[in-house]
Amino acid sequence: MPLHRHYILNKPYGYLSQFIRTETVRKNKKLLSELGDFPEGTMSIGRLDEHSEGLILLTTDGKVSHQIRSKSVEKEYYAQVDGQITSEAIQQLQEGVEITVKKETYTTLPGKAFELTQVPQLAERAKKIRDERHGPTSWVSITLTEGKYRQVRKMTAAVGFPTLRLVRVRIGNVELDELQSGEWKEVSNF
């Protein structure tokens, strides 16, 4: 029986959460495979869109991937939003909001959300976010157990505070910690 390998990666802005190019129209897009010499069969557990950053777990074990993507595992995100988020918006995020998924209206499951009182200590992003001349921004922590396509971005927009920057900081008990953007490390398990 082959020995499986597991990795923790800090996905940079501008990368697709895949290892092989499956589309001919996106030839110029950067892939996770460009960040390290990973063994054949390595896959990302879940995805972050091209404009999102942060924690991605990688594995060669499909069973582990399925387990971590289940609704029993929390995923925590830090979102920098346009404007000073309100307590009403936070409450809506906690209770669940209506978003569109595959042209259908979907109400998100209740989750955890709160405003971050200090700007998180994150690496500078490759593409600059607009500056303060365009109005205030604020940071919110959102913890989910589901993962619909662009869900956090859709949720913050639904409550009137579009996401400007999105960073996943935790999956279950695994945290991003001190890994810099583009860095990864091999671990024995998750």
Please provide the size of the chain in residues: 190
**Residues facing 115 on adjacent strands:** 140
Place of tokens 């500056």: 131
Write down the catalytic residue from 49, 61, 82, 131.
Answer: 49
82 among known catalytic residues: no
Q: How far apart are CA 15 and CA 29, in angstroms?
A: 7
In 37-136 the beta strands, taken as DSSP E runs, fall at: 43-45, 53-59, 75-82, 98-101, 104-107, 112-115
Q: How far apart are CA 129 and CA 69, in angstroms?
A: 30
Place of tokens 């001190």: 178
Tell me which residues are annotated as active site. 49
